């Protein structure tokens, strides 16, 4: 593979922390809140990645994905759109694909030795190809952090490029596992390498959800700035997905403000921005009810996601 290693700028950590914190002070006018909540709901990838996953659990998640709130028309006067995707292990892709067919909800699957990324490359590529054959139209891969942290950047790039090819028509989300990268400079370097290897419409993603810390606003800002700079330099538009630790509607507003002010309104769409946060959906729905009725619903009033 011929690969020109991108030159990454040094990240001013103090400035990133300060700017990321500034988005938590943003407020949304009451008349705009419902629209922001509906947008956030449409950007969620509902996920189940547990050893105890079963076809029944996946089917239940798909029902929630297609119709997030059964009382939407009664409470807010309109029907909500479906969420963005359902993300499952490769073995569960056929079940999800069968249930979501024609719904508009994407079928995503983790692959490439999730969550470690340490499996032999041929096994990881076979994993990707089979998931696509079985009906996945999005693949969430993890980079080999051992290779990255050892400075074997070309190896990381070659593996990402091989996965891109294995995806065929499916979109790719490259998980950096930022909780293991230690510094903002490393996050920026990994972002730049991934962006250089993937196609327009693919994503970079913070985390697997299996490592703490997962998504944070400063880390997400560093990744958004990498996307912004690549777009300015090459015109290639890349999506972004923070995953893990985003649990409240208020947090989702903060992220949407950060996306808008860093990348612009063109990224405020599920094709370009996602939340990997299943627990976020019910809080968004509860916030919609509070906005319309003045009262929060109890947690048990909504089905588990």
Average of per-residue pLDDT values in the chain? 94
- DSSP class of residue 83 equals -
Q: What number is the average pLDDT over the span 20-42?
A: 91
∠ CA 195-138-260, rounded to 5°: 55
pLDDT bin (cut points 50, 70, 90) of residue 98 is: very high
Name the 3-class secondary structure at 9: coil
Report domain 30-301's class: alpha beta
pLDDT at 2 over 70: no
CA distance 272 to 274: 7
**Residue 166's pLDDT is what?**
98
Catalytic residue among 64, 173, 189, 241: 241
**Strand partners of residue 205:** 175, 241
Exposure string over 74-85, b if 16+ CB within 10 A, otherwise e: ebbeeebbbbbb
Alpha-helical (H) ranges within the chain are: 13-22, 30-42, 55-66, 72-76, 93-100, 121-133, 145-149, 153-167, 184-197, 217-234, 249-262, 278-293
For residue 53, give the nearest of 98, 14, 109, 105 by alpha carbon: 109
Question: In sequence order, what are the residues at sequence separation of 6 or more whose Cβ sits closer than 8 angstroms to the Cβ of residue 206?
Answer: 175, 176, 177, 178, 214, 215, 216, 219, 220, 223, 241, 242, 243, 244, 276
Angle at 106 between CA 203 and CA 37, to 5 degrees: 80
Residue 202 is among the residues annotated as catalytic for this protein: no
* Of the candidates 34, 44, 16, the residue with the CA atom closest to the CA atom of residue 273: 44
With tokens 């950096």, the residue in question is: 176
241 labelled catalytic? yes
Would you give the distance in Å from CA 180 to the centre of its chain?
17
pLDDT 10s digits, 127-140? 999 999 999 999 99
pLDDT above 60 (res 101): yes
- Summarize pLDDT for 220-235 with one digit per residue, the tens: 999 999 999 999 999 9
Nearest to 250 by CA among 274, 280, 289, 278: 280
Residue spans of the domains in the chain: they are 30-301
DSSP SS3 for 20:
helix
Distance between CA atoms of 172 and 169, rounded to whole angstroms?
Answer: 9
pLDDT tens digit string along 49-59?
A: 999 999 999 99
pLDDT in tens, 188-205: 999 999 999 999 999 999
| Angle subtended at Cα 99 by Cα 174 and Cα 43, rounded to the nearest 5 degrees | 40
The confidence band for 26, taking pLDDT boundaries of 50, 70 and 90, is confident
Choosing from 72, 127, 140, 202, the catalytic residue is: 140
Residue among 72, 202, 205, 283 flagged as catalytic = 205
Q: Is the pLDDT of residue 283 over 70?
A: yes
Alpha carbons 240 and 263: distance in angstroms, whole number = 10
- Cα 251 from Cα 54, distance rounded (Å): 31
Candidates 109, 104, 92; CA nearest to 66 is 104
Is residue 304 annotated as part of the catalytic site, yes or no? no
* pLDDT recorded at residue 302: 76
pLDDT at residue 300, as a whole number: 64
Confidence of residue 117 (pLDDT cuts 50, 70, 90): confident
Residue 296's nearest CA partner among 248, 255, 256 is 248
Question: Which pLDDT band holds residue 213 (cuts at 50, 70, 90)?
Answer: confident
């Amino acid at each position: 593979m011929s690969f020109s290693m991108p030159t990454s700028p040094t990240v001013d950590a103090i400035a990133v922390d300060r700017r990321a914190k500034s988005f938590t002070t943003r407020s949304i006018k009451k008349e705009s809140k419902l629209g922001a909540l509906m947008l956030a709901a449409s950007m969620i990838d509902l996920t189940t990645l547990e050893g105890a996953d079963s076809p029944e659990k996946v089917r239940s998640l798909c029902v929630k994905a297609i119709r997030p709130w059964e009382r939407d028309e009664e409470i807010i006067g309109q029907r909500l759109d479906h969420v963005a995707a359902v993300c499952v292990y490769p073995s569960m892709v056929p079940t999800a694909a069968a249930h979501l067919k024609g719904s508009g909800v994407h079928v995503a699957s983790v692959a490439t030795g999730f969550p470690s990324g340490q499996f032999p490359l041929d096994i990881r590529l076979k994993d990707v190809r089979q998931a696509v054959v079985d009906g996945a139209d999005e693949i969430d891969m993890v980079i080999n952090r051992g290779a990255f942290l050892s400075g074997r950047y070309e190896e990381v790039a070659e593996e990402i490029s091989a996965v891109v090819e294995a995806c065929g028509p499916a979109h790719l989300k490259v998980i950096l596992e930022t909780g293991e990268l230690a510094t903002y400079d490393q996050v920026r370097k990994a972002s730049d390498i991934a962006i250089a290897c993937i196609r327009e419409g693919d994503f970079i993603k913070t985390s697997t959800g299996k490592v703490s810390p997962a998504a944070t606003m400063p880390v997400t800002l560093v990744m958004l700035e990498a996307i912004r700079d690549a777009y300015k330099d090459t015109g290639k538009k890349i999506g972004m997905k923070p995953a893990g630790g985003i649990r409240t509607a208020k947090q989702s507003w903060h992220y949407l403000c950060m996306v808008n002010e860093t990348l612009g309104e063109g990224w405020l769409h599920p094709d370009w921005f996602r939340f990997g946060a299943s627990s976020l959906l019910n809080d968004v729905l509860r916030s919609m009810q509070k906005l319309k009725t003045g009262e929060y619903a109890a947690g048990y009033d909504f089905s588990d996601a």
